Structure 1
Amino acid sequence: MKLTGRVAEVLLVSGVLAALAVPPAQAAHAPAPARGRDVPLRVASYNIHAGAGMDNVFDLDRQEKALRALHADVIGLEEVDVHWAARSEWRDVAGELAKRLGMQVFFAPIYSVDGREFGVAVLSKYHILKATNHKITRLSTQDPNPAPAPAPGFGEVELRVKGVPLHVYVTHLDYRADPSVRVSQVAETRRIMGRDRGRKILLGDFNATPDAPELAPLWRELTDVEPGKPTFPALNPVQRIDYVAVSRGVAVRGADVPDTLASDHRPIVADVSLRR
């Protein structure tokens, strides 16, 4: 709509008067709008050993208690059974833990065999807007003569945390002493995560220590959240192979490794802030 000169003049004067009506002290001390504040978030990564503790006894009550004690908003889980075997009583471990904790869940299977599944999962207190199970190179444990090949099990969820968009990834890298498969997995992880230029968090069991050469490329784009404690094995841990890593736009406020024997790993938990 085009304003006539007279109408525009009236609106301009009205606007100036309205601005002058605000007392200077009140204007100076008015709180910053909510959209300008960083958003706190607590995230964790936990290899749950298919529901079994350091004693190799399946106990979902014990793992629920350990997870609840983290007070985390988002949790990446590795070694998750969904109707996989007798070792976890053929139960949907991912679904049951999510229900008990009142969280949403996305399960990304690595293996799917006749209705039996094993993989990684994300639990979230925030609504999962979108979820993807990406493929990366794997050396199958289900094949007697495996060869490196693309396989699923690199999970990604898109969240909106108090209005701030966030991509969370969960992974479980190859465990073998030969790092060649992990080298490929790291390259593919960077390629997949590179598609998103927003705020990103990577959770997982990398099966390598932070100074491992095959992990070095990750630290070009991501910051390794250092808790100052080892995570494996859960009893008298000697090395850290479990990770929370964050991109630009995510500030680290602190991290810890809680002492628990609910799995053969200890969890890593981090407090971060999402910058708007």
Structure 2
Amino acid sequence: MKKGVVCLLLSMFLVIVFSSSVAATGKGKEVNLKVMSFNIHHGEGLDGELDIKRTAKVMKDTGAEIIGIQEVDRFYGDRSDFQDQARKLANLLGYHYVFGANLNLEPETSNKNRQYGTAVLSKYPIIDSENIHLSSFGNEQRGLLRTKINVKGIHVHFYNTHLGLNVAERLAQIAEINEVKSSFSGPSVLVGDLNAEPDSKELQSLLQEGNLVDVFANEDESNTFPVINPTKRIDYILTSPSVYHLDSQVIYTEASDHLPIVADIVITR
């Protein structure tokens, strides 16, 4: 067999092997990913019932692979049966998780501190995380839960937050978030209950100075609060400009006092 034919056959073999490997591992140039933001109201629905399994079902039914949740209890009190809610939700979904305690109070009936904050649930390994307290000026402590998640070989920076209740507080918190984000490069997603509407100074600062894109910017029906006849959009999924948006949706459920949101995105290595 001639040398040129041998080289051609070898090249074809290597292409086939490489293509098969990529298909098997999902390590192509682009990866589809579904993300979610959900203020779960410590698992209490509009019916006043605590039902964390119902909360998990809402998440599972969407097919979301990385989920940022707010108003999460951990051994907090009777209102949530002293549950470790992030852990319970992760177990129900079969996901990895991290919890960020923004309130860390003395125990009442056990030796475990009463905690309240945010969490990230992920189908993919969470390889780094940090909960950063934001300036709250004597009001309820707020935080930014920063994670790095290995999505089929691509490291995605996923941030989850729940901002304060007045403009000055939120502007200070967003400035701190922008500073944290500036230290990390690569594809990023920020989700959360921002307590601010799309035309607010707070959101514009996050979009412009934080260099983020609102996946619901061109959606007409995207209000998230209150659940019945929602009039405000205060829950968001924001991404770095390199992330491509395929679809976004507000999910109707009465499992909380906020409506959850999901987005199908494409990340590139």
TM-score, normalising length: structure 1: 0.84
- Shift of residue 138 of structure 1? 1.3
2:259 pairs with 1:269: no
Residue 210 of structure 1 corresponds to which residue in structure 2?
Answer: 198
2:173 pairs with 1:185: yes
| Residue type of the alignment partner of 1:120 | T
Query: 2:262 and 2:8 mapped to 1: Cα distance?
Result: 50
| Residue type of the alignment partner of 2:180 | I
Q: 2:215 aligns with which of 217, 222, 225?
A: 225
2:29 pairs with 1:37: yes
- Shift of residue 264 of structure 1? 0.1
What are the ranges of 5 or more consecutive residues in structure 1 without an aligned counterpart? 1-12, 143-150
Q: What does the per-residue CA deviation read over 1:225-244, in whole Å, with 9 as the maximum and x for residues that have no partner? A: 10542111111111110011
Residue 109 of structure 2 corresponds to which residue in structure 1?
Answer: none
Query: 1:213 and 1:36 mapped to 2: Cα distance?
Result: 39
Q: Contact 1:133/1:152 (CA < 8 Å) preserved in 2?
A: no
Query: 1:33 and 1:100 mapped to 2: Cα distance?
Result: 31
| Residue type of the alignment partner of 2:161 | T
Q: Contact 1:139/1:174 (CA < 8 Å) preserved in 2?
A: no
Aligned residues: 251
2:133 pairs with 1:129: no
- Shift of residue 217 of structure 1? 1.6
Q: 2:118 aligns with which of 99, 109, 120?
A: 120
- Shift of residue 56 of structure 1? 2.9
Q: Contact 1:252/1:271 (CA < 8 Å) preserved in 2?
A: yes
Q: Contact 2:53/2:92 (CA < 8 Å) preserved in 1?
A: no
What are the ranges of 5 or more consecutive residues in structure 2 without an aligned counterpart? 107-112
Query: 2:125 and 2:50 mapped to 1: Cα distance?
Result: 29
Bigger shift: residues 218-227 or 41-50: 218-227
Q: What does the per-residue CA deviation read over 1:61-102, in whole Å, with 9 as the maximum and x for residues that have no partner? A: 221221211210000000000011211111111111111111
Percent identical pairs in the alignment equals 36
Q: Contact 2:143/2:163 (CA < 8 Å) preserved in 1?
A: no
Query: 1:79 and 1:140 mapped to 2: Cα distance?
Result: 19
Q: Give the SS at the match of 1:126.
A: coil
For residues 87-166 of structure 1, the aligned pairs below 5 Å read 87-114=79-106, 115-141=113-139, 153-166=143-156
Query: 2:146 and 2:190 mapped to 1: Cα distance?
Result: 9
2:250 pairs with 1:257: yes
Larger radius of gyration: 1
TM-score, normalising length: structure 2: 0.86
> In angstroms, what is the RMSD of aligned CA positions?
2.4
Q: Contact 2:245/2:266 (CA < 8 Å) preserved in 1?
A: yes
- Shift of residue 175 of structure 1? 2.0
- Shift of residue 55 of structure 1? 2.7
Q: Contact 2:142/2:164 (CA < 8 Å) preserved in 1?
A: no
Change beyond 3 A, Cα 1:164–1:17? same
Q: What does the per-residue CA deviation read over 1:177-199, in whole Å, with 9 as the maximum and x for residues that have no partner? A: xx000010111110001100111
| Residue type of the alignment partner of 1:234 | V
Change beyond 3 A, Cα 1:36–1:183? same
Change beyond 3 A, Cα 1:108–1:41? same
